Amino acid sequence: MAPAIPSAKLTLSCPLFAADFDPRNSDYLLVGGGGGEGRSGVGNRIALLNTSKRDEITESTEIELSRDEDSVMSMAVAQASEDSMISLAGINSSTAEQKRDNNQHLRSFKIDLPKKQGEKKMLEKTTIPVDSVEKSTLLSRTSLFRTKGAKAGSDTYQRIVRISPWRGEKLSRVGAITTGLAQSGEIVFFQAISMPKESDVIGRIRLSDGEEAGDIDIIDSGKEDGKFRVAYTNGVDVFTCQISSSTRSSTAPDVSRVYTIPLLEKGKRPKFRALRFLSPTSLLLLQNAPDRSGSELVVLSLPASNEKNKAVTIVRRKKLRKTIKMGLGLDVCNLGTGAENDQTQQIIIAVTGSDQSIELLTLEYNPEKGYGKLWPYASLHDVHPFSVTRICFSTFTPPSHPVTPEVGPQYIKLASVSMGNTVVVHTIPLSPFPVSSRTPRYVLAIPGESETWATLLSGFTALFTVLIVCVLLQGYMEIKGGAPSYLGVSEWLPPQVQSVLGHPTPSLSVERIDTSTSSIPTATTTISVIPNTNTGNQRQSLRDILRPRQEQEAATDAVTAGVNNNIIVRCTTTDDGTSNEILIETIPSEQQIQDETRPWEELGEEQQSLWKQRLADAGHWAVEEGETILKGVLFAEYCGFVRELVGEELL
């Protein structure tokens, strides 16, 4: 069971649609939203929140926006320093301005971070007011989309703004914005600077009529060459392309369709809701089944940029729990590697569902074995009162190696906002792995055994379970008398337990009794069992058969006792006449007896004496038991030694 994850919650005055952490300092979270244009009582705003405490969120800075314009629909932090951050937000101009082909949808804000307590005391000693230092400024507003006027439509807005991952202040970043509700969609790539404008555009993609980019993501090549890889989806297809931060062009990059959801024989096709890069050659997608019937995660292996002919393969799939009828949002956090010779790493995945929950999963990557299974870590239920609109991880920067004792506990933060005006921040603790190493990597879930060992363990567990069931079934059948006594359950299981499980099923049983110890020289036999066609083999001595009948006679009327079964004792002679076998069988009283038999009481004294001798030698009767126990037992008249005795008497 996953440990409890601490969280803090704050309710603001408007619905929230956008959120992003300061990439340098996860203590600060930027959120935005509003009621839109002309909605009385609900304003539009951007708020800087302090999340330094695990159980509390406080508001540090608030930016009140015009109520004559649209709400904040998308937002991302483009640049960050020790004392400020620059955010790019998607805010539509007023309807009147849009009709004049002047929709300045991309806004840039500079937001000063709160001063530390020591810095505030220093400012108080000067003539500079503290409040004048901590402020927010609108830096620029511009329009980068070329779809304008009537072609754009009054409902068109900047749906997504995505910035490439933070790699430090010195490395450049690029951004992408996409349209929403446009007649023909558009994607624009630009330099992620403080005030982007038309001259900073590095590429455009014009989509088909009615086509939109449902989600988009950017990742750097990892070579510090200023090149980035882009992936986006229109719901059915997945496209990739490569852009460069040094390019200044409005032309479209070389776009490749790398994957398409196959058509089904019946029913609708699933659709991709969101995607995130795991690496430049692997992509994670959130796929929803039609008619809100479930959601799953898909890991795609992409060819490298120079391997255009290589096929895309699905390396992992993971269905989410059944209560998630539809996935809404997706984000990932790569926790980085450990030692230089060990590039294994763990990735944390967060998925928001239509049930206002958040699902956390982990994914292990090994350069030699590839991606492992997607393992569920925790399910966070009822996080928000209404639908979750945005989810994002803070940026995790592992401590430098070697790790010293002075390095404190490491953690990441997960923020989510909703239509219900709520902000929730979960603080997720991380663990070093291996614990004793000075160059550990950090993980959320301690890696377990390899997938091969896990498969072997699962197989062994399944086989052991089947074996236990078979043993229990065999024991039960032995008690019921329907199987040979291989386990000997009836010998060591208490009679009280046997009576609860049930009495033996009446059946025809035949047993050959070893009489090799008899004093009669012509009789040398071995013990064997004749199969019973009804219930299988059953081995019982005459004493075992007679004892229950004797107990029954003591408890009931002797006349009616034993009417259920007849006990017959036979003996056979081999062809050479040198040995014979005694057969004991029980048959229902209503079944006709084929052979000529006589009850014990009707046998002559010599015949009774010979039978007693044979039964005693075989251990099935003792003198001290008396002859009473043999009353009612039928004896066949064709036994060899009895026949010889009768023949001698006749002579």
Decide if 462 is inside a domain: yes
- pLDDT over threshold 60, residue 313: yes
- For 399-448, give the DSSP string: PPSSPPTT----EEEEEEEETTSEEEEEEEE-EEESTT-SS-EEESS---
- pLDDT over threshold 60, residue 425: yes
Distances (CA, A) of 259 to 235, 237, 314, 328, 340: 11, 6, 10, 21, 34
Q: Quick one: pLDDT band at residue 4, thresholds 50, 70, 90?
A: confident
Return the percentage of the chain with pLDDT > 70, whole number: 78
Decide if 581 is inside a domain: yes
> Which of 180-194, 497-511, 610-624 is the least confident region?
497-511
Tell me which DSSP letter residue 3 carries.
P
Distances (CA, A) of 478 to 472, 546, 584: 10, 19, 20
- pLDDT over threshold 50, residue 422: yes
Dist. CA 429–CA 70, nearest whole Å: 38
Please report the pLDDT score of residue 639 as a whole number: 61
Please report the pLDDT score of residue 525 as a whole number: 34
Domain that holds residue 583: 542-549+563-636
Largest CA distance in the chain: 148
Decide if 463 is inside a domain: yes
Decide if 467 is inside a domain: yes
> Which of 179-188, 573-582, 622-631, 640-649 is the least confident region?
640-649
Long-range contacts, 205-210 (Cβ 8 Å, 24+): 205/241, 205/252, 205/253, 205/255, 206/252, 207/234, 208/184, 209/183, 209/184, 210/183, 210/184
* CA-closest candidate to residue 271, choices 289, 259, 293: 289
Please report the pLDDT score of residue 497 as a whole number: 73
User: Ranked by mean pLDDT, which of 166-170, 233-237, 342-346, 455-459 comes out on top?
Assistant: 233-237
Decide if 572 is inside a domain: yes
Decide if 608 is inside a domain: yes
Please report the pLDDT score of residue 640 as a whole number: 55
Please report the pLDDT score of residue 631 as a whole number: 80
Selected residue with higher pLDDT from 205 and 580 = 205
Question: How does pLDDT run across 358-376, given as a tens digit for each residue?
Answer: 999 999 999 999 999 999 9
> Which of 246-260, 282-296, 629-643 is the least confident region?
629-643
Q: What is the mean pLDDT of the chain?
A: 83
- pLDDT over threshold 90, residue 60: yes
> What residue type is assigned to position 294 of the chain?
G
Q: Quick one: pLDDT band at residue 223, thresholds 50, 70, 90?
A: confident
Question: Residue 98 corresponds to which tokens in the numbers above?
Answer: 């849009």
For 117, the enclosing helix (H) or strand (E) is helix 117-124
Return the percentage of the chain with pLDDT > 90, whole number: 52
Please report the pLDDT score of residue 221 as a whole number: 87
The number of distinct structural domains making up the chain is: 2
- pLDDT over threshold 80, residue 538: no
User: Ranked by mean pLDDT, which of 353-357, 405-409, 580-584 comes out on top?
Assistant: 353-357
Average pLDDT over residues 625-640: 74
Decide if 266 is inside a domain: no
Please report the pLDDT score of residue 453 as a whole number: 60
Q: Quick one: pLDDT band at residue 307, thresholds 50, 70, 90?
A: confident
Average pLDDT over residues 508-520: 44
* CA-closest candidate to residue 276, choices 209, 344, 327: 327
- pLDDT over threshold 90, residue 488: no
For 123, the enclosing helix (H) or strand (E) is helix 117-124
The 3-state DSSP class for residue 300 equals strand
Decide if 334 is inside a domain: no
- pLDDT over threshold 60, residue 451: no
pTM of the entire structure?
0.71
